[in-house]
């Protein structure tokens, strides 16, 4: 299967994980980002918060790329509706993991798609349950450095997956981009289409 977009495609995220997932569509795209201050963005619910951040990320790029489709996303971990962001240091990472130990948390990714002055936004939720973690495991994992630059202080696509007892929902959403839903949104918006396969004839 091969696809093509109706306009140039831009990913407004520097995340290598999102870049890898968007590459699954098999269409060319550029990466362009603009730094925003996420601390000044609020929402009345966890889903609204991540969607608002995703929209701000995308808007900063879309304003200067009106000719393109701009996709942006934000992923956050919530425990009892409290956001656990990217840990600033080892102690914060250990605190997050102790709190997540043996419990179920929610990972929400907000995705915005800008095109022709329009913003289409949606979110995906996945429930993730951790095994009970020992202090030895937590200390070792944090020392590995895998906890940094990841919401909730873990990466499900790396060694952090060893902490996961089970998930309920989209795995790729936890990685950082619910690519199956992104595909469906692009198709519904008629921004993505399947390339026509060449007809083969028997001699």
Asked if 74 is an active-site residue, the reply is: yes
With a CB cutoff of 8 Å and minimum separation 6, the contacts of 124 are 108, 109, 111, 169, 170, 173, 178, 181
- Yes or no: say if 75 and 109 are a contact pair by the CB < 8 Å rule: yes
- Say what the pLDDT of residue 36 is: 82
Chain segment 34-63, per-residue pLDDT in tens? 988 777 888 889 999 999 999 999 999 999
Domains and CATH numbers, the chain: 3-194 (3.90.950.10)
Chain segment 56-101, per-residue pLDDT in tens? 999 999 999 999 999 999 999 999 989 998 999 999 999 999 999 9
Catalytic hit among 37, 74, 81, 170: 74
* Distances 161 to 14, 75, 84 between C-alpha atoms, Å: 22, 17, 17
């Amino acid at each position: 299967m091969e696809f093509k977009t109706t306009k140039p495609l831009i990913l407004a995220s520097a995340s290598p994980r999102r870049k890898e997932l968007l590459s699954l569509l098999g269409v060319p795209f550029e990466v362009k980002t603009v730094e925003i201050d996420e601390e000044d963005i609020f929402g009345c619910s966890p889903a609204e918060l991540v969607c608002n951040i995703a929209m701000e990320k995308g808007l900063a790029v879309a304003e200067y790329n009106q000719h393109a489709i701009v996709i942006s996303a934000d992923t956050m971990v919530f425990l009892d509706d409290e956001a656990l962001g990217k840990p600033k240091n080892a102690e914060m990472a250990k605190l997050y993991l102790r709190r997540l130990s043996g419990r179920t948390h929610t990972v929400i990714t907000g995705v915005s798609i800008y095109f022709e002055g329009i913003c289409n936004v949606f979110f995906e939720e996945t429930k993730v349950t951790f095994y009970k973690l020992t202090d030895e495991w937590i200390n070792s994992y944090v020392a590995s450095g895998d906890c940094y630059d990841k919401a909730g202080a873990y990466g499900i696509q790396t060694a952090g997956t060893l902490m996961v007892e089970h998930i309920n929902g989209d795995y790729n959403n936890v990685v950082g981009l619910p690519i199956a839903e992104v595909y469906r949104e692009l198709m519904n918006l008629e921004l993505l289409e399947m390339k026509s396969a060449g007809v083969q004839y028997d001699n």
